Amino acid sequence: MTNEPQYDLADLAERAAGRHVVVVGAGASGLVAAREIARLGIRVTVLESAASVGGAVRSGDVGGIRLDLGAESFATRGGHVQALIDELGLAGDVVEPDHSAGGAWVAGLSGGGAAPLPKGGILGIPANPFADDVRRVIGWRGAWRAYLDRLRPNLRIGHADSLGQLVRSRMGARVLDRLVAPVTSGVYSASADDIDPAIAAPGLNTALTRAGSLSGAVLELQEQRRTAPGGAVKGIRGGMARLVEALAADIAERGGEVRTGVSVVSIDEGADAAWRVVTDQVETDEDGAEAPLALDADAVIVATEEATARRLLAPLVGSGLAAALPAPGPAVAIATLVLDLPALDSAPRGTGVLTVPGSHRAKALTHATAKWAWVREAAGKGTHVVRVSFGTVAEDPATDGLSAQEQTELAREEAARLLGIEIPAGAVRGSRLERFQQSQPAATHGQREQAETARAAIRAVPTLGAVGAWLAGTGLAQVVPDAKAETDRVRRAVLFGDQ
């Protein structure tokens, strides 16, 4: 049974065609939202402040190769991104990372050493501290200390609030500093102390209660994950940016409009329609008078990053949404280097390197030509693509404030240290740096509650919606299904709200 009034189809189609929705922001979430609107024949306009669509999923030319400069893969978990890719006709171009180069490494061990990141484990926590690959990273002393986890009194209450505290108390500082911190810093840009295990490793708390030790819990979870489908990452030949381009093309095909280079400055209550979306563009009327370009809309979906979303929405919704950020998230900078350097053919650090926090100015490196066969083919023999990343919650990117040349220099030096080889300045064929402001990762304390509070306040106004990583959690696997669900709510309000 549904509470929706019954319409004949012609009436419904006419209703849809008479409505207009504005989406603010053409990142992945905004484009998915706009497509969901356009699918029902509702007129949609997407306004994007940048010169191109995609947000964190952006691409560009570096050294003559078109490369992803932000997101470069998607998690297969849930199957939502794959389903979207299928719908957009890109299924044939989905690719798996190349595992032949081995996995990632960890750098910044004592004496400046580096070693392969141990196989298995959950968030870097090993199931067996004496495994050769684990011991190589934490040493015998670290292994014995970690083993105490098995001997210490059972964890009676299997609920830990802080991943850092949990690992430190059960397995010691070496496991925390050398195995777990590089992962939380590299993946979440956050300290392990701020990560809530319940969100970062679902099931860990329950497994702790059952197993009575942390390593036992990890073993149990590892086993569950081994037998569960998904859990991997995949990419798209030619880059993840193809996904956002296909989304934008699909919106246009369905009659929607995506305008770039237009920044939304405010959303006001409208006179002729529910909302008036005011932009930074100026239009001139018939009498030659200038006024800000504004669009009337029956509903607005805000798909920007958190700070802008709060600023735009706070005046329109109740007290649950403060205009100020609860806490600033990490800024991350990715330097993409194209190197003519056959010495990298042997992939000396597998698919990339994570660092022990504090040991390097960069926090991680991806060897893209080792990780993705399509990048290797695009680069050609002897040419390599590495992505050096900087910046965590605790520390702004070391590239901030540097000139473009200094940024390239720093990225080259850090890449050389992390890869353990010399990289002469002359080997750099191309270089490009992109900076991203991220919201607090969903796995940090209190973030989920804050997002829920914000959502509830926004949902109280049926013709307003908000989508994006600050609400859904970072990553396309989170953002895509969330944007679909939220847009469905707004879509219903647009079609049936006046009934």
Ligand X SMILES: Cc1cc2nc3c(=O)[nH]c(=O)nc-3n(C[C@H](O)[C@H](O)[C@H](O)COP(=O)(O)OP(=O)(O)OC[C@H]3O[C@@H](n4cnc5c(N)ncnc54)[C@H](O)[C@@H]3O)c2cc1C
Dihedral pair phi/psi, residue 252, rounded to 5°: -65, -40
d(CA 210, CA 433): 46
329 and 432 Cβ atoms separated by less than 8 Å: no
**Binding flag, residue 438, ligand X (CB under 6 A):** yes
CB of 221 vs ligand X, minimal distance in Å: 22
CB of 371 vs ligand X, minimal distance in Å: 11
**Binding flag, residue 245, ligand X (CB under 6 A):** no
- By beta-carbon proximity to ligand X, the closer residue of 137 and 433 is 433
**Binding flag, residue 72, ligand X (CB under 6 A):** yes
**Binding flag, residue 263, ligand X (CB under 6 A):** yes
- By beta-carbon proximity to ligand X, the closer residue of 208 and 246 is 246
Q: Which residues of 431-468 are buried (b: 16+ CB within 10 A; e: fewer)?
A: bbbbebebbbbbbbbebbebbeebbebbbebbbbbbbb
**Contacting ligand X (CB under 6 A), which of 16, 21, 22, 30?**
30
Partnered with residue 221 across adjacent β-strands are: none
**Binding flag, residue 62, ligand X (CB under 6 A):** no
**Binding flag, residue 305, ligand X (CB under 6 A):** yes
**Binding flag, residue 475, ligand X (CB under 6 A):** yes
Which residues are within 8 A (CB) of 410 and not within 5 positions of it... i.e. 6 or more apart?
A: 335, 361, 398, 399, 402
**Binding flag, residue 218, ligand X (CB under 6 A):** no
CB of 188 vs ligand X, minimal distance in Å: 11
CB of 468 vs ligand X, minimal distance in Å: 3
**Binding flag, residue 29, ligand X (CB under 6 A):** yes
Which residues are within 8 A (CB) of 62 and not within 5 positions of it... i.e. 6 or more apart?
A: 69, 336, 337, 338, 385, 430, 431, 432
371 and 351 Cβ atoms separated by less than 8 Å: yes
- Look-up of token digits 């018939």: 286
151 and 211 Cβ atoms separated by less than 8 Å: no
CB of 439 vs ligand X, minimal distance in Å: 9
**Binding flag, residue 213, ligand X (CB under 6 A):** no
Of 19-27, 192-200, 335-343, 377-385, which part binds ligand X (CB under 6 A)? 19-27
- Which residues between 275 and 304 bind ligand X (CB under 6 A)? 303-304
CB of 137 vs ligand X, minimal distance in Å: 25
**Contacting ligand X (CB under 6 A), which of 12, 49, 120, 328?**
49
385 and 379 Cβ atoms separated by less than 8 Å: yes
Of 64-72, 162-170, 336-344, 392-400, which part binds ligand X (CB under 6 A)? 64-72
Of 13-21, 398-406, 421-429, 468-476, which part binds ligand X (CB under 6 A)? 468-476
**Binding flag, residue 118, ligand X (CB under 6 A):** no
Of 23-31, 131-139, 223-231, 390-398, which part binds ligand X (CB under 6 A)? 23-31
Q: Count of residues binding ligand X (CB under 6 A)?
A: 37
Handedness of CA 308, 314, 319, 320 (dihedral sign): negative
How many angstroms separate the Cα of 23 from the Cα of each of 34, 38, 295, 384? 6, 11, 11, 38
290 and 282 Cβ atoms separated by less than 8 Å: yes
**Binding flag, residue 469, ligand X (CB under 6 A):** yes
**Binding flag, residue 76, ligand X (CB under 6 A):** no
**Binding flag, residue 239, ligand X (CB under 6 A):** no
CB of 12 vs ligand X, minimal distance in Å: 29
The DSSP line for 173-209 is HHIIIIIIHHHIIIIISS-GGGB-HHHHSTTHHHHHH
CB of 356 vs ligand X, minimal distance in Å: 21
**Binding flag, residue 411, ligand X (CB under 6 A):** no
**Contacting ligand X (CB under 6 A), which of 16, 38, 48, 201?**
48
d(CA 497, CA 499): 6
**Contacting ligand X (CB under 6 A), which of 22, 23, 24, 316?**
24
- By beta-carbon proximity to ligand X, the closer residue of 49 and 165 is 49
- The pair of three-digit structure tokens given for residue 114, joined into one six-digit string: 């580096």
d(CA 178, CA 106): 8
**Binding flag, residue 407, ligand X (CB under 6 A):** no
Q: Nearest 5 degrees, angle CA 74-CA 79-CA 80?
A: 80
**Binding flag, residue 74, ligand X (CB under 6 A):** yes
334 and 395 Cβ atoms separated by less than 8 Å: no
Of 193-201, 210-218, 282-290, 474-482, which part binds ligand X (CB under 6 A)? 474-482
How many angstroms separate the Cα of 493 from the Cα of each of 15, 25, 316, 348? 12, 21, 17, 55
Which positions lie near ligand X, rule CB under 6 A? Answer: 24-30, 47-50, 55-57, 70-75, 263-264, 303-305, 308, 332, 334, 436, 438, 468-469, 474-477, 479
